[in-house]
């Protein structure tokens, strides 16, 4: 069994908090401060495949969070990180820069099937502060959008929901009205695949 009674969640996403709460696991937030360049971790490397990208970024986030825990002198506990990437073919569709960019992304997704890849990773440090154990899992889902009119895209973008979302949409929000079909993990599309996350938690001794 895990010696810890809680996990650190290194994510600002309220959706991930909600999903983790569904598993009945106590958590504390472990967020980056202004001294960390969190966005730099999400830069895509040249010719990087979506699967390789999301797994690499998640491990970088975990590494940064473990260092953050050590630097702040916090009680030791497993750290949970996650990253979600939307891919249309081999093209990675990140978070929109502005409303115009959001409309472009949604236009590309219109009438198409895309993949949502969510990687989850957990890790701990030894008493000496060195990485002790790291586990990672990947959820891949397919999402098909109905053909969208320009007016539908403009209305959705105007709602503000696409901003800050990979692929410029939130499956649990207004975008659900445009999604014809999903194959895979709904919670994974939201940002924290429940099945894979539960497996990782069990690997670290939590009862889930």
pLDDT per residue as tens digits for the range 28-78:
999 998 888 877 888 999 999 999 999 999 999 999 999 999 999 999 999
Tokens read off for 15: 């959706």
Decide if 98 is catalytic. no
Checking if the pLDDT of 2 tops 60, the result is: no
Tokens read off for 35: 């001294």
Q: Which of 3-12, 25-34, 127-136 has the highest mean pLDDT?
A: 25-34
Instruction: Detail the DSSP E strand segments found in the chain.
Output: 7-9, 27-29, 79-88, 91-93, 113-125, 131-145, 179-183
E strand or H helix that includes residue 99: helix 99-109
Q: What is the pLDDT of residue 86?
A: 97
Say whether domain 7-203 belongs to CATH 3.40.50.620: no
| Residue with token string 């970088």 | 60
Q: Which residues pair with 64 in a beta bridge?
A: none
pLDDT per residue as tens digits for the range 131-168:
789 999 999 999 999 999 999 999 999 999 999 999 99
Confidence of residue 3 (pLDDT cuts 50, 70, 90): low
Mean pLDDT of the chain: 94
Residue in 33, 83, 97, 98 annotated catalytic: 83
């Amino acid at each position: 069994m895990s010696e810890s009674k809680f996990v650190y969640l290194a994510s600002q996403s309220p959706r991930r908090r909600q999903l983790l709460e569904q598993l009945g696991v106590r958590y504390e937030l472990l967020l980056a401060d202004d001294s960390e360049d969190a966005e730099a971790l999400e830069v895509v490397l040249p010719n990087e495949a979506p699967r390789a990208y999301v797994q690499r970024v998640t491990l970088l986030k975990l590494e940064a969070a473990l260092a953050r825990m050590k630097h702040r002198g916090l009680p030791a506990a497993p750290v949970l990180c996650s990253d979600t990437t939307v891919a249309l073919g081999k093209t990675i569709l990140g978070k929109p820069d502005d409303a115009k960019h959001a409309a472009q992304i949604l236009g590309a997704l219109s009438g198409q099937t895309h993949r949502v890849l969510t990687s989850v990773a957990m890790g701990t440090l030894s008493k000496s502060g060195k990485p002790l154990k790291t586990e990672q899992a990947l959820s891949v889902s397919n999402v098909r959008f109905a053909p969208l009119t320009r007016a539908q895209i403009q209305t959705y973008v105007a709602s503000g929901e696409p901003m800050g979302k990979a692929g410029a949409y939130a499956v649990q929000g207004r975008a659900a009205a445009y999604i014809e079909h999903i194959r895979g993990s709904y919670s994974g599309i939201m940002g924290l695949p429940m099945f894979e996350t539960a497996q990782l938690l069990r690997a670290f001794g939590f009862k889930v």
